[in-house]
A and B are shown apart, each in its own frame.
Chain A
Amino acid sequence: MAKVEYCGSVVDVASSVSVLDALLAHGHEIPHGCRAGACQSCLMQATQGCVPEAAQDGLKSTLKAQNYFLACRCQAATDLVVQLPQASAVRFSATVIERELLAEDVMALHLRSDAPIDYRAGQYMTLWRDERLGRSYSLASVPSLDAHLTFHVKRAPGGVMSGWIHDRLRTGETLQLQGPVGSCFYVPETADQNLLLAGTGTGLAPLYGIARDALHAGHRGDIHLFHGALDTAGLYLVDALRRLEARYSNFHYHPSVLRSPAQLPEGVQVGAIDRLISTTAPELTGWKVFLCGAPDLVAQLRKRIFLAGAHSADIYADAFFSAAPPPS
């Protein structure tokens, strides 16, 4: 008989009963669906204890690494402390160390958090201006390489938060952070797997972090990073990415624009990012893929890449929604 703690109450779970059924029987409201390990709506996270392997079957490796599990498939052999996903999200303050304009309308915001943050390159956090106004931004920094947390903030048309960050927020001032969340990050389990990283706009932020994280971890497979922008003004970190390319023979940077300028800079292609990917890497069986950017583009790319042979569980997508999620 194992003990499972949830929201401060301890439930005895017989070995023949799932954690889901035990929690439901005690009146806890846990989201659930098929009860067959398929729909994943009963996803939970263990903050203490060891989750049985069978309860993580079908989950992405990034979720497994964070002790997420399916409550309906979990027959607890040992004591556990569990929670619903993201219930641990709390806010803490961070100080602005530097503001750096990367492109006409993209600012790199470098922050030092007051408390140490355990994050992975590619995850995202919510930045709060005050109690009520918060927006999610992806981390572009890598814990093992960068001293500070870095976010790329694009000035959105009429954007209250991005406008405040671009025009009002000063070095030395503080704001509140929440997170990190997201499962779009590198796991050094298969160093020989080819990686495809594709994104538009500030979708580059997490991809830049993931690429550097993988290269720093000694990734041996090829890494192709596709960055698409409307025009050349939207391409940024070009020099830094070219330097990475010069330093690592397995890293390939593919910048592209939709609108052809009068004079096209060397190495920049014109065209839709999905077409350029299809041309450069038409066959993606066995690849691991990271997609970041506008939701429509991410959904479209994801389907194309799946049809090009990538396994669905190897496609990590992070859709950037322009509206903020409701404050929790």
Chain B
Amino acid sequence: MASLYERLGGEAAVNQAVEIFYRKVLSDDRVQHFFDDVDMERQIAKQKAFLTMVFGGPSHYSGKDMREGHQHLVARGLNDSHVDAIVELLSETLQELGAGESDIREMATIANSVRDDVLNR
């Protein structure tokens, strides 16, 4: 049986999704200040790696990476409500790409599985 990542369309789907997701994030008052990196190219590369992971694709991010990568954001007030917003925007992104309900739920499960690492607790 094909994995979630394969069902969604693999790397091509990630490349498509990052354009939609990052636009959503930058237009969302709840979370945009966490993504206000002057270096958009680097920011998009990070988003691609993140989406690959939550789509269940080949990713090399460990729990330790997730913790260290978000430490400075937690210090700036990153909390559960922001993670909820991100999961919501991710779900909308997948919907726009035509993914089914169960695939979207599976993605949300992966995203929620790193919640504690992201929030450093």
A-to-B contact residues, CB < 8 Å:
34-40, 57-58, 295-296, 299, 302-303, 306-307, 311-312, 315
Contact = CB atoms under 8 A, between A and B. Distances in A.
B97 interface: no
Contact of B40 (A34, A37, A40, A312): A312
B23 A57 contact: no
B15 interface: yes
B87 to A, nearest CB: 20
A34 B26 contact: no
B23 A34 contact: no
Given A299-B40, A306-B23, A312-B41, 18 more contacts: A34-B49, A36-B52, A36-B57, A36-B59, A36-B60, A38-B49, A38-B52, A39-B48, A40-B45, A57-B11, A58-B15, A296-B38, A303-B40, A307-B27, A311-B19, A312-B18, A312-B22, A315-B40
Contact of A39 (B15, B22, B45): B45
Contacts of A296: 38
State the 7 A-B residue pairs at the shortest beta-carbon distance, nearest first. A38-B49, A38-B48, A299-B38, A39-B45, A34-B49, A312-B44, A35-B60
A36 B40 contact: no
27 contacts: A34-B49, A34-B60, A35-B60, A36-B49, A36-B57, A36-B60, A37-B11, A38-B45, A38-B46, A38-B48, A38-B52, A39-B49, A58-B48, A296-B38, A299-B38, A299-B39, A299-B40, A302-B40, A306-B23, A307-B23, A307-B26, A307-B27, A311-B19, A312-B18, A312-B19, A312-B22, A312-B41
Given A34-B61, A35-B60, A295 B38 contact: yes
B80 to A, nearest CB: 26
Contacts, number: 48
Interface string B51-69: 0100001111100000000
Interface string B26-37: 110000000000
Nearest to A309: B23
Nearest to B48: A38
Nearest to A299: B38
Contact of A36 (B18, B26, B58): B58
A306 B26 contact: yes
Contacts of B15: 58
B70 to A, nearest CB: 16
Contacts of B38: 295-296, 299
A302 B39 CA distance: 10
A302 B46 CA distance: 17
A289 B68 CA distance: 35
B53 to A, nearest CB: 9
Nearest to B39: A299
Contacts of A40: 45
A152 to B, nearest CB: 25
A303 B26 contact: yes
Contacts of B27: 307
Given A34-B60, A36-B60, A306 B40 contact: yes
Contacts of B22: 306, 312
A38 B23 CA distance: 18
Contacts of A58: 15, 48
Instruction: Specify which of A36, A38, A306 lies most central, judged by the most chain B CB atoms within 10 Å of its CB.
Output: A38
Instruction: Specify which of B18, B49, B59, B61 lies most central, judged by the most chain A CB atoms within 10 Å of its CB.
Output: B49
A34 B27 CA distance: 27
